[in-house]
Amino acid sequence: MIDLDDDALLRYSRHLLLTEIDVAGQRRLCSARALIVGAGGLGSPVALYLASAGVGLITLADDDTVELSNLQRQIAHDTKSLGKSKADSARARMLALNPGITVDAQVRRLDQPALDALVATHDVVLDCSDNFATRHAINRAAVACSVPLVSGAAVRFDGQLCVFDPRDAESPCYACLFPEEGGASDGPCSTFGVLAPLVGVIGSLQAVEAVKILSGMAPKTGMLTLYDAAQGTFRQVRVPRDPICPVCGGRGC
């Protein structure tokens, strides 16, 4: 693992004060590799917080460009970013925040083989995408490679968060919660709208779970967190593993 020099000890001093993280946990963070799929509303806070936390290598994948309508909520970008790729724009902001990390900007849409190859070389994958097809592809890769998946979603005033960990035989996967053949339809914010700070809440929670995983804290899997921003309420629902799930059902119990 990476040794922390004097600058790093000062930069991450507030982490070092936490007994759950301390020097050993911060060294794990600085040696860790995180894959973020999507550099928009959810991916922006995830990317910035993982960068500030010192995650050593962050791969950020997004094939989209920054549009004016994105700036209502996508805080990794600004007016000068208009027309630029979201992955490159976010990378510049991340490195300005913490030049001691490495950010690999993947300006492309990841198909299943590309996802499989990338997920296999990372310690955690964060789903910050905005459509069910991509979410299911990410989940398949996470299960196949036994890499923890932190999934988030936000539309209108409603946010969702769940951690899936294929390393845990009791953990469900995304397909256990939302079966691919179940007919679930996308609810993009371009159609239904989204409260600007909502993506910040859910993205920040995703970053929390990723930092816990990468620093060595045990994740709480199989628990769907639902946030109603209009009412200001959180509730949690346990998600059981589906023993006949077509994605993770073949894992040993």
Q: Residue 14: CB partners within 8 Å, gap ≥ 6?
A: none
Domain-embedded: residue 71: yes
Helix (H, G, I), strand (E, B) or coil at 248: coil
pLDDT, tens digit, 9 for 90 and up, residues 54-100:
999 999 999 999 999 999 999 999 999 999 999 999 999 999 999 99
On the question of pLDDT at 122 being above 70, the answer is yes
Q: How far apart, in whole angstroms, are the C-alpha atoms of residue 171 and residue 253?
A: 10
Q: How far apart, in whole angstroms, are the C-alpha atoms of residue 163 and residue 242?
A: 15
On the question of pLDDT at 184 being above 60, the answer is no
Domain-embedded: residue 9: no
Q: Angle at which helices 196-215 and 43-53 pack, to 10 degrees?
A: 40
Task: Place 192 in a pLDDT band, splitting at 50, 70 and 90.
Answer: confident
Q: Where are the alpha helices (DSSP H) in 54-124?
A: 86-97, 112-120
Domain-embedded: residue 12: no
Indicate the number of domains in the chain.
1
| β-bridge pairing 149-155 and 158-164 | antiparallel
Nearest to 177 by CA among 146, 143, 207, 206: 143
Predicted confidence at residue 143, as pLDDT, reads: 97
Domain-embedded: residue 248: no
Domain-embedded: residue 17: no
Domain-embedded: residue 200: yes
On the question of pLDDT at 104 being above 80, the answer is yes
Task: Place 190 in a pLDDT band, splitting at 50, 70 and 90.
Answer: low
Domain-embedded: residue 243: no
Give me the domain span that covers residue 59: 32-238
- The CATH code of the domain that includes 106 is 3.40.50.720
On the question of pLDDT at 123 being above 80, the answer is yes
pLDDT, tens digit, 9 for 90 and up, residues 28-44:
999 999 999 999 999 99
Domain-embedded: residue 56: yes
Task: Place 220 in a pLDDT band, splitting at 50, 70 and 90.
Answer: confident
